[in-house]
Amino acid sequence: MNAIRIGLIGTGYMGKAHAIAFQTAAAVFPLSRQIICEMVADITPEQAESQAKLLGFHRSTGDWHDIINDPDIDVVDICAPNHLHKEMALAAIAAGKHVYSEKPLALNAQDAMEMTLAAEQAGIKTLVGFNYTKNPTIQLAKEIIERGEIGEVVHFRGTFNEDYLADANTPFSWRLKRQFSGSGTLGDMGSHIINMAHYLVAPITQVCADLQTVHNTRPIADKTGEVGMVENDDQVHMMIRFANGAIGTLESSRIAWGRKNGLWLEVTGTKGTLVYDQERLSELQLYTATDASNRQGFRRILTGPEHPDYRHFCVSAGHGLGYNDMKAVEIRDLVEGIAQDAPLWPDFRAACAVNAVCDAVELSHKESRWVSINND
CATH topology (fold) of 132-347+352-367: Dihydrodipicolinate Reductase; domain 2 (3.30.360)
User: What is the per-residue pLDDT for 29?
Assistant: 97
> Judging by DSSP bridges, how do beta strands 247-253 and 262-269 pair with one another?
unpaired
Mean pLDDT over each residue of the chain, to the nearest integer: 96
- What does the pLDDT look like over 117-154, one tens digit per residue? 999 999 999 999 999 999 999 999 999 999 999 999 99
Radius of gyration of the chain (CA): 21
Q: Tell me what the mean pLDDT of segment 314-322 comes to.
A: 93
User: What is the per-residue pLDDT for 308?
Assistant: 86
**CA separation for the pair 254, 275 (Å, rounded):** 22
Band the pLDDT of 188: cuts 50, 70, 90.
very high
**CA separation for the pair 158, 307 (Å, rounded):** 23
Share of the chain above pLDDT 90, in %: 95
Q: What are the boundaries of each domain within the chain? A: 3-131, 132-347+352-367
Band the pLDDT of 1: cuts 50, 70, 90.
low
Please choose, from the candidates 281, 279, 333, 324, the residue with its C-alpha nearest in 3D space to the C-alpha of residue 303: 281
User: What is the maximum span of the chain, computed from C-alpha positions, in angstroms?
Assistant: 66
Q: How are strands ordered across the β-sheet holding 34-41?
A: 59-61, 34-41, 3-9, 75-78, 98-101, 126-128
Asked whether residue 212 carries a pLDDT value surpassing 70, the answer given is yes
- What does the pLDDT look like over 267-291, one tens digit per residue? 999 999 999 999 999 999 999 988 7
Asked whether residue 295 carries a pLDDT value surpassing 90, the answer given is no
Asked whether residue 83 carries a pLDDT value surpassing 90, the answer given is yes
**CA separation for the pair 241, 128 (Å, rounded):** 24
Band the pLDDT of 292: cuts 50, 70, 90.
low
Please choose, from the candidates 84, 113, 83, the residue with its C-alpha nearest in 3D space to the C-alpha of residue 67: 84
Q: Tell me what the mean pLDDT of segment 194-222 comes to.
A: 97
Asked whether residue 293 carries a pLDDT value surpassing 90, the answer given is no
**CA separation for the pair 264, 304 (Å, rounded):** 20
H/E stretch holding 37 reads strand 34-41
Domain 3-131 listed as CATH 3.30.420.40? no
Please choose, from the candidates 5, 6, 15, 101, the residue with its C-alpha nearest in 3D space to the C-alpha of residue 54: 15
User: What is the per-residue pLDDT for 312?
Assistant: 95
Q: Which residues pair with 371 in a beta bridge?
A: 207
Same fold, 3-131 and 132-347+352-367: no
Band the pLDDT of 374: cuts 50, 70, 90.
confident
- What does the pLDDT look like over 230-261, one tens digit per residue? 999 999 999 999 999 999 999 999 999 999 99
Band the pLDDT of 294: cuts 50, 70, 90.
low
HSE-CB at 1 with a 13 A cutoff on CA atoms is 16
The pTM (predicted TM-score) of the whole model is 0.96
